[in-house]
Amino acid sequence: MRRKKHHEDHVNHEAWAIPYADLMTLLLAFFVVMYAVSVVNEGKYRVMSESIIEAFNGSSHVIAPMPQTRVQPHNVDPAVATPAGQPGGATTPVSVPIPQRPQPVRAADMRLLEQRAEQRNLELIRDQVQRALQPLIDKKMVVVRKTTSWLEVELRTDILFASGVAKLSPQAGGVLDDMAAILKPFPNPVRVEGYTDDRPINTSLYPSNWELSAARAASVARLFSEQGIAPERLGIVGWSEYRPAADNGTEDGRNHNRRVLIVVLSNEDAPKRLFNDANKGIEVADNADAPATSSSVAATLPVVPRLVSMPSAGRGAPAPQPGAPTMPNADASNLTVTAPRIAPPEHGP
């Protein structure tokens, strides 16, 4: 029997290629995974960072809202995409609104809203006063004016006081009670101004027109306080004879100058404009035909805002105390008697 020839096995020198290919495949997959993990969505990261900052710091970081996008529908039935009555044609774009985050209210916008509310309050007060006092307005005993910063209600003293006194007359109660009922619900500051004519007065109670004008303003303010208006809202000013609205040379002019002015201010800053802007003629009343007053026309006389004491008629001015402020060359036409707040009345036992 013939023997088979034994063939020797050849050594495979390329066996390393298979594990090497597997290793490369694994490395490729590893780097692909690492790359995918390292990619950060910038938009989501920015939203998350802003939310974290706002939560921890309480600051208002507003992300700019995304604009509205228009989505072109694909694979849509032409009968749906095409309007009725128009065969074929291009598909109609669909506008998809993107909800926007509410924007924070800016300080300027807030102040604008406050000014609108203040003007609305003044208009409401004006309308109610005109309805309540229309008979007196028709008789020219009451004049109502409005500017952008305050509302003026001018009352002739003939319906409030007897001659030479500061005690309210019986008929004044009805008029002022109506005014108090109108002003009470509103938060506006109220200033009462007293005016007289140039006829001198010299009594034990009122040595001059300064005391008389201030006392009349105080009587009106005290009645308002008794009717429920908060005393901290009230203030009084006595202008004496130095802010005439008409010529004192005639009886009618003197009657016009004897008046009480109720000024309803728009806000706490209005008194500054009342002394500054009004004296420069900046504020213009709605009623251009109404007689001009000190708070609605230009005036050149300076104002001393608070005078604590005054010399009596016929006496010299007291010597200033050490360290006290002085008023150089002040005369009677430059002085203003004010009482910024009226305390509530004290009732006896």
Residue 189 counted as domain residue: yes
- Cα separation, 299 vs 294, whole angstroms: 7
Report the half-sphere exposure of 341 (CA within 13 A, side-chain side). 6
pTM over 0.75: no
pLDDT at 106: 76
Residue 19 counted as domain residue: no
Residue 110 counted as domain residue: no
User: Mean pLDDT for each consecutive 10-residue tract of the chain (349 residues)?
Assistant: 64 79 92 81 75 70 54 51 51 56 70 88 95 95 93 94 93 93 95 95 93 96 96 94 93 94 86 54 42 36 35 39 40 42 40
Strand ranges of the sheet holding 190-195, from the earlier edge strand across to the other edge: 142-146, 150-156, 259-265, 190-195, 234-238, 337-339
pLDDT at 217: 96
Question: Any idea what the CATH number is for the domain that residue 275 is in?
Answer: 3.30.1330.60
- Cα separation, 48 vs 178, whole angstroms: 60
Residue 302 counted as domain residue: yes
Tokens of 180: 């108090």
pLDDT at 314: 38
Structural domains counted in the chain? 1
The burial class, CB within 10 Å (0-12 / 13-18 / 19+), for 89 is exposed
Residue 252 counted as domain residue: yes
Using CA atoms, how far residue 85 sits from 94, 104, 322, in Å, is: 19, 47, 97
Sequence-distant (≥ 6) Cβ neighbours of residue 26 within 8 angstroms? none
Residue 327 counted as domain residue: no
What value, to the nearest 5°, has the Cα angle with vertex 203 and ends 222 and 310?
70
What value, to the nearest 5°, has the Cα angle with vertex 245 and ends 256 and 146?
100
Residue 263 structural domain: 141-309+332-339
Residue 128 counted as domain residue: no
Q: Are 315 and 296 in contact (CB under 8 A)?
A: no
pLDDT at 246: 94
| Chain centroid offset of residue 76 CA | 55
Q: Are 207 and 316 in contact (CB under 8 A)?
A: no
Residue 190 counted as domain residue: yes
Tokens of 114: 């406050």
